[in-house]
Amino acid sequence: VTGASFVVFNGALKTSSGFLAKSSIVEDGLMVQITPETMESLRQALRDQKDFKITCGKTDAGDIKEYVDISWVENEEKTNKG
């Protein structure tokens, strides 16, 4: 589990790269590189307020994978309303 001050989703990862997705720590945040197709699915999930899971790693890496989970939580009035 990694805590981050911000998350950047980059939808420019090419399918030919051999990666499902790539995640890396950038300063005090997280950058997730995903394919344009995954970006569109993520955007739809955010619009629908649905949980979303991104599987990171090489396409042929077998069982060793990393995951980026986007989870919606109960509404909390003290959060930033902007």
**2-32 residue pLDDT tens:** 677 899 999 999 989 989 999 998 888 999 9
* Cα Rg of the chain, angstroms: 14
Domains of the chain, residue spans: 6-70
Place of tokens 């939808």: 11
**46-82 residue pLDDT tens:** 999 999 999 998 888 777 778 999 998 886 666 566 5
> In CATH, what number does 6-70 get?
3.30.1360.220
Give the C-alpha separation, 31 to 29, whole Å: 7
Q: What is residue 79's predicted lDDT score, i.e. its pLDDT?
A: 59
Q: What is residue 62's predicted lDDT score, i.e. its pLDDT?
A: 74
